[in-house]
Chains A and B, each alone.
Chain A
Amino acid sequence: MSQILGLAVLFLLLNLVAGLWRVARGPTAADRMLAALLFGSTTVAVLLIMAEWMTMPALRSVALLFVMLAGIVTIAFFGLPAGDDER
């Protein structure tokens, strides 16, 4: 079971890396922020699995924090003027 948890973490991390392509591509600012949202959600899942895999229950608190902060960064992003990015 422990090995399967490790593989799950690896799989999700590779998903994260794949998402970087969208951050690079764009084309709009919303696309890049969207990819960052993906990263946040994937990181929460990775942290929760690692909490079980590495037996560190504190990681669930870290996951909780991440979920809270994803909303805040998006609110800050919302304030950026429209059109702030290349087409």
Chain B
Amino acid sequence: MSMQEWVALALLIAGCFFYLAGTIGLLRFGDVHSRLHALTKADNLGLMLVCAGLAVLAADWRTSALLVLIWLLGLLAATVSAHLIARHARRDGK
């Protein structure tokens, strides 16, 4: 495997690790707010690392730009979604 593939592999593995961390947080934390916290942060970081790894693998600026766009949108959507879910949970009295 070339250098490019090694770098992409490292980034992908790191990304998958963060997704695992997010899932563990979802299953193990005790409160909806802490689960929200763990999940959003870990998943977005995982998405960034996965997108970075795939961009390195693709080595094509159009694909990389699209991947960056998808990551940024994912960040935006996850932020607003987390905020709305937390507000809803607070209305519940939690």
Contact = CB atoms under 8 A, between A and B. Distances in A.
A and B touch in the complex (CB under 8 A): yes
Interface of A: 1, 4-5, 8, 11-12, 15, 18-19, 21-22, 28-31, 33-35, 37-38, 41-42, 44-45, 48-49, 51-52, 57, 60, 63-64, 67-68, 70-71, 74-75, 77-78, 80, 82-83
Contact of B74 (A8, A41, A83): A41
B81 A70 contact: yes
Contacts, number: 137
B16 A11 contact: yes
User: Looking at chain A's contact residues, is the secondary structure mostly helix, strand, loop, or mixed?
Assistant: helix
A75 to B, nearest CB: 7
B77 A67 contact: yes
Interface string B11-22: 010011001101
Nearest to A83: B92
Contact of A1 (B9, B51, B69): B9
Given A38-B43, A71-B81, 7 more contacts: A1-B57, A22-B26, A29-B88, A29-B92, A38-B22, A48-B51, A67-B73
